[in-house]
Structure 1
Amino acid sequence: SLQGIIKFDKDEKSLSSLEIIVPRDLADGFVNNKRESYKFKFQKIFDQEAKQDVVFDSVAKPVAECVLAGYNGTIFAYGQTGSGKTFTITGGAECYSDRGIIPRTLSYIFDQLQKDSSKVYTTHVSYLEIYNECGYDLLDSRHEASRLEDLTKVTIMEDPDQNIHLKNLSLQQATNEEEALNLLFLGDTNRMIAETPMNQASTRSHCIFTIHISSKEPGSATIRHSKLHLVDLAGSERVAKTGVGGHLLTEAKYINLSLHYLEQVIIALAEKNRSHIPYRNSMMTSVLRDSLGGNCMTTMIATLSIDKRNIDESISTCRFAQRVALIKNEAVLNEEIDPRLMIVQLKKEIQELKDELALVTGKQRTSELSQEELLQLDELIEAFLEDNEPDSILDVGADMRKIKYCFIHLKVFLLNISDKKLLSQNTSNKKDSNKEAGEEELKKLKELLQQRDNEISILYEEKNSIWV
């Protein structure tokens, strides 16, 4: 129980329940018909003691995993000013453990990309601020922005297929975590802040930090594109609550209007038979078009203030979150063919079909093969003959000139082999005959030697017998 106002029951196996108790106001009299309790159910509830790493593991990590697999993802924080949206999304600067969802997600994504060597990855980031229904590029290349007007203005464009494109929003490549964090820091530096009585550093604009990932397997023409929107919405409190006037009042009205249109889109999506969804009413809903009711895995973080004065705002936030929970998105894998590789493949296929057609129709080319073509054919034949694989193919296309040349070349090659074999055989026969003749001569010499030995023995014996 938080100050006796908000009660919640954590359940790891099923939905967690939250109850907001409205204390009695004596000014309303002893008997009044005001509702005293509001109950809501959510997938997960965190108290004010929850650590940033626990929030990341539960909320952002599953979405980041889907984005790495090729699906789109969105995480957006909604709630009144001072309830912890920016701390949850971006984090605090006091200590390293206060890092929010964006820096932790960047760290996780680059860690996973480094581990995966099976694909080639390209990562870009963009950072958009929506203030008074106008978009601004927070990663402006000029960097030094002292006023909002110094930043590049971003406009919405729609193609014939009703896809949204953001003109002038820069995509900055980030090859590692450090580069991505530097871009985040640059964007946060450029982010405009105003002071209100409720919070001296409350945001008066919506901010969308987007991570774009492209992946391709080496040699494959298929590319996967995915993006992860990390959204910090402006404070959802009513205009009267902000206690501001002048241009700050105008800001508050724009904020409330855009959040109102966001709510209208959520309500329309929750109604099953609704044919028209009013995405175009505001820049925020246009940008998040595919995140709400589209091809995206979307998670919402609703932040509440535990102060008794903010009970109405807390109830309003919970109601909005319950409506968002009714939306069913259908995320699909974002795959496409690399047009450059596709062009190469199609050119090759067209040439093969032309060659095949010429072969079938008999319309053969009569011009002689060039010296360069002959050299290429020689290289192909040599590579084919040196390849020990039984399934290797000599592919020279459907050109009879080249096919005839290859047959002649192979015939000459085989004839040369036959001549070499015959020469080798003759040489071998000659060697064999010479060997036999030598052995016969040696045999005769041995016999002659033996005969002479015998004669010497006889003579020696006769000489001895005479002396006796």
Structure 2
Amino acid sequence: MVKQTIQIYARVKPLTRRQQAGIYSLDEDEKSGSSLEIIVPRDLADGFVNNKRESYRFKFQRIFDQEAKQNIVFETIAKPVAECVLAGYNGTIFAYGQTGSGKTFTITGGAERYSDRGIIPRTLSYVYQQLQKDGSKVYTSHVSYLEIYNECGYDLLDPRHDASRLEDLPKVTIMEDTDQNIHLNNLSLQQATNEEEALNLLFLGDTNRMIAETPMNQASTRSHCIFTIHISSKEPGSATIRRSKLHLVDLAGSERVAKTGVGGQLLTEAKYINLSLHYLEQVIIALSEKHRSHIPYRNSMMTSVLRDSLGGNCMTTMIATLSLDKRNVDESISTCRFAQRVALIKNEAVLNEEIDPRLIIARLKKEIQELRDELVMVTGEQRTEELLQEELLQLDELIKRFLEDTDPENTLDVGADMRKIKYCFNHLKVYSVHIQGSEREEKKKLRDLLQQRDNEINILYFLLV
């Protein structure tokens, strides 16, 4: 078991030419981690006397500045989690931040250059490289891709996406067993034997995602997406199987509806996005509070799916994406505050091992056959499942002689063959039941005869009187 708090990182998005940078500073310390200070000058319109804070300082494991490359982000954030998943632990990496702050670029990557690949494709490359290198175990890998849009779940790998409207597709539903384990119906699990197959499934899912243009972002993701890699491994000849999963989560961006000025379908989407992120924040707050008995996981689909990742059996890492221009300072401060609460949550990751019943049955059958072979070597007799007719006749004769012999020292010896011993016990049991039945019948006859004689005596007595 590995106990640790959720690891939090921050990444600052480069500003465009039209954006004006806010006032902030980064401080790197190898021992205490990185810290981010955001300065918010007081607005003179509020008067000279007010109580608004001017400085906000937040601590992270590490902060990636505007110059940080995708490979550095992967090496620092995703690679340690991927190594734990390969060892048999569950892992989760999720990005959180406002719309347009670079979540999808960080998690999935950009399409223009190969070096812009994000955490998911780089993780797939790393995982499959390690699987090919390790010849000591037999691995199987599957992937799934869940989209949560307007609080409804959809399978992004469903081949009917191209030909059907979203409303016509089967919805992914949540089932919970007696052990409070979550099961997702209508979410396919696609086998991916190599990196190429896994990347093809990733690209298929990405093309089916709900994306729209908003005032905050030209290609804003309008849904939460969870790409999951499932890995099982076992050593040859071993009955122990290790099963682990890695959730790679791209959350939809939080945004102020009044600030974006959207309406219609985009307004509906924004409301659902903000509501689900609000429920996520409620879960985070509840987990960070000590002695809290109830955690509201069931309030939304996303928190239900990520239950293990938040305060459960998982090694979880969060990356807060920030857009530190003047217009988005408030949202960036809100994102950092959320990350600080996340950092208080402790997870207990355990090694996910189970015994394969099919291998146990095969092993027991093999042991039974080996014991039979040893028995043949010791006794010199080839035994079958059932006793032969000739053996049954011999046993019947032995039992008959044993029962007819009046010598109390006499024994019934059939050898060290459990088949013969069981047959003799069954035979004696049947004989005992038969004798007891005969005795009961004889007693009944005697009672009837005695009653008949009593009646006859009474009749004679009355005749004589």
**TM-score, normalising length: structure 1:** 0.74
Partner of 2:67: 49
* Pairing partner for 1:212 from 230, 233, 239: 230
Contact 2:151-2:276 within 8 A present in 1 as well: yes
Partner of 1:102: 120
Matched AA of 1:239: V
Calculate percent identity across the aligned residue pairs: 88
Change (3 A) 1:353 1:283: farther
Contact 1:15-1:44 within 8 A present in 2 as well: yes
* Pairing partner for 1:29 from 31, 47, 50: 47
Mapped partners of 1:170, 1:400: distance in 2: 51
Contact 1:140-1:152 within 8 A present in 2 as well: no
Contact 1:124-1:213 within 8 A present in 2 as well: yes
Q: Equivalent residue of 1:129, what SS?
A: strand
What is the Cα deviation at residue 277 of structure 1? Answer: 0.7
Mapped partners of 1:217, 1:328: distance in 2: 31
What is the Cα deviation at residue 327 of structure 1? Answer: 0.4
Partner of 2:298: 280
Mapped partners of 1:332, 1:368: distance in 2: 57
Residue 343 in structure 1 maps to residue 364 in structure 2: no
Write the deviation string for residues 398-452 of structure 1: whole angstroms up to 9, x where unpaired: 8689xxxxxxxxxxxxxxxxxxxxxxxxxxxxxxxxxxxxxxxxxxxxxxxxxxx
Residue 323 in structure 1 maps to residue 341 in structure 2: yes
What is the Cα deviation at residue 241 of structure 1? Answer: 2.5
What is the Cα deviation at residue 12 of structure 1? Answer: 2.6
Mapped partners of 1:145, 1:309: distance in 2: 41
In the TM superposition, 1:225-304 aligns within 5 A as: 225-304=243-322
Gaps of 5+ in 1: 371-397, 402-468
Residue 119 in structure 1 maps to residue 137 in structure 2: yes
Matched AA of 1:341: L
Gaps of 5+ in 2: 1-11, 16-20, 379-384, 392-415, 420-465
Contact 1:90-1:100 within 8 A present in 2 as well: yes
Partner of 2:388: 367
Q: Equivalent residue of 1:321, what SS?
A: helix
Matched AA of 1:227: K
Matched AA of 2:23: I
Mapped partners of 1:87, 1:270: distance in 2: 29
* Pairing partner for 1:74 from 81, 84, 92: 92
Contact 2:22-2:324 within 8 A present in 1 as well: no
Matched AA of 1:335: E
Contact 1:211-1:228 within 8 A present in 2 as well: yes
Mapped partners of 1:176, 1:35: distance in 2: 52
Deviates further, 169-178 or 1-10? 1-10
Write the deviation string for residues 236-269 of structure 1: whole angstroms up to 9, x where unpaired: 2233233212222121111111111111111111
Residue 195 in structure 1 maps to residue 213 in structure 2: yes
Partner of 1:12: 30
Specify the structure having the higher radius of gyration (Cα): 1
Contact 1:222-1:338 within 8 A present in 2 as well: yes
Partner of 1:306: 324
* Pairing partner for 1:89 from 107, 119, 125: 107
Change (3 A) 1:354 1:202: same
What is the Cα deviation at residue 31 of structure 1? Answer: 2.5
What is the Cα deviation at residue 197 of structure 1? Answer: 1.1
Mapped partners of 1:5, 1:368: distance in 2: 98
Write the deviation string for residues 131-189 of structure 1: whole angstroms up to 9, x where unpaired: 11100000003352564235432111111111100001000100110000000000000
What is the Cα deviation at residue 120 of structure 1? Answer: 0.5
What is the Cα deviation at residue 86 of structure 1? Answer: 0.2
Q: Equivalent residue of 1:61, what SS?
A: helix
Mapped partners of 1:47, 1:369: distance in 2: 89
Matched AA of 1:118: S
Matched AA of 1:74: T
Mapped partners of 1:9, 1:259: distance in 2: 29
Equivalenced residue count is 369
Write the deviation string for residues 77-123 of structure 1: whole angstroms up to 9, x where unpaired: 00001000000000000100000000000000000000000000001
Matched AA of 2:214: T
Q: Equivalent residue of 2:35, what SS?
A: strand
Q: Equivalent residue of 2:346, what SS?
A: coil
Contact 2:82-2:246 within 8 A present in 1 as well: yes
Mapped partners of 1:256, 1:227: distance in 2: 27
Report which of the two has the higher share of strand: 2
Contact 2:22-2:329 within 8 A present in 1 as well: no
Contact 1:355-1:399 within 8 A present in 2 as well: no
Change (3 A) 1:353 1:118: closer
Contact 2:313-2:349 within 8 A present in 1 as well: yes
Mapped partners of 2:221, 2:387: distance in 1: 77
Which of 1 and 2 has higher RCO (CA within 8 Å, sep 6+)?
Answer: 2
Contact 2:121-2:199 within 8 A present in 1 as well: yes
**TM-score, normalising length: structure 2:** 0.75
Mapped partners of 1:350, 1:263: distance in 2: 57
Change (3 A) 1:22 1:68: same
Deviates further, 8-17 or 67-76? 8-17
Contact 1:302-1:318 within 8 A present in 2 as well: yes
Mapped partners of 2:328, 2:264: distance in 1: 24
What is the Cα deviation at residue 368 of structure 1? Answer: 7.8
| RMSD over equivalenced CA pairs, Å | 2.7
Contact 1:77-1:302 within 8 A present in 2 as well: yes
What is the Cα deviation at residue 342 of structure 1? Answer: 2.2
Mapped partners of 2:179, 2:89: distance in 1: 20
What is the Cα deviation at residue 11 of structure 1? Answer: 1.9
